[in-house]
Amino acid sequence: MANPQAAQFEELTRVVIKHRGALGISQEELARRVGTSRSAISRVESGRHKTSVETLQRLAHALGVRLVIGFESGPADRPIRELVSA
């Protein structure tokens, strides 16, 4: 059975890699911008590790995007989303 939490990390991975690629920067450069190591960026991009909200905020800033966090309720086909920019 698939792990839904793992799927969320994989989705995050795709977004980080997409934005890093659009900027044309390496993991090393992203790590420098975030203030972390290349191996930490590699772990985020692997999609197999939890990432803190603080790290997500630093990644968003380094990638020139906004981090948006929220909750979803209601039926899956018509969800009600409450989002905040972090």
pLDDT tens across 38-86, in order? 999 999 999 888 889 999 999 999 999 999 999 999 999 999 999 999 8
Cα 24 from Cα 77, distance rounded (Å): 36
* CB of 85 closer than 8 Å to CB of 65: no
Nearest residue to 10 via CA among 46, 53, 35: 46
Cα 59 from Cα 45, distance rounded (Å): 11
What's phi and psi for 32, nearest 5 deg?
-60, -45
Task: Indicate the pTM of the whole model.
Answer: 0.82
Domain positions in the chain are 4-85
What is the homologous superfamily of the domain 4-85 according to CATH?
lambda repressor-like DNA-binding domains (1.10.260.40)
The partner residues of 68 in beta bridges, in order of sequence, read: 85
SS3 label, residue 43: helix
